[in-house]
Amino acid sequence: MAVTAAVLGAQLAYLEGRRCGLRASAGESATRAGTGRSRSPRYGLPGVIAGRFLAGARTVVPRVAGSTTKPYQRFSAGSACAAVVWASAELLAGHAAASLTWAR
């Protein structure tokens, strides 16, 4: 369920970035948008995967990828792989935390 939600959320944000550009993200400053656009072609697919694990970047990376017209197939493949790894890491962290004796 978490993987599906993560993939669908990233796909919708990518399509929003493709359709509206970065102006749809009202809370984002112009310098951040410029930095993201300049670094998107440089880091490419590894940037999409790493963006899944950074809290602030998780919402911005798909929009930047869409606004810079990163190929949809490459973005969706990277996003799906990152979502599987991210959901697995979160599940394992929750399981490890639940098994701690002081947490009970």
User: Mean pLDDT over residues 20-43, rounded?
Assistant: 56
User: Mean pLDDT over residues 24-47, rounded?
Assistant: 57
Q: Return the pLDDT at 68.
A: 85
> Which residues contact residue 40 at a Cβ distance below 8 angstroms, ignoring those fewer than 6 apart?
47, 64, 65, 68, 70
In a domain, 70, yes or no: yes
Q: Return the pLDDT at 12.
A: 93
In a domain, 40, yes or no: yes
Q: Provide the percentage of residues in the chain whose pLDDT is more than 70.
A: 77
Domain membership of residue 22 as a residue range: 2-98
In a domain, 84, yes or no: yes
Q: What's the structural domain count of the chain?
A: 1
Cα separation of 65 and 100, whole Å?
39
Q: How confident is the model at residue 99 (pLDDT cuts 50, 70, 90)?
A: confident
pTM over 0.85: no
Cα separation of 53 and 55, whole Å?
6
Taking all residues of the chain, what is their mean pLDDT, rounded to a whole number?
80
In a domain, 103, yes or no: no
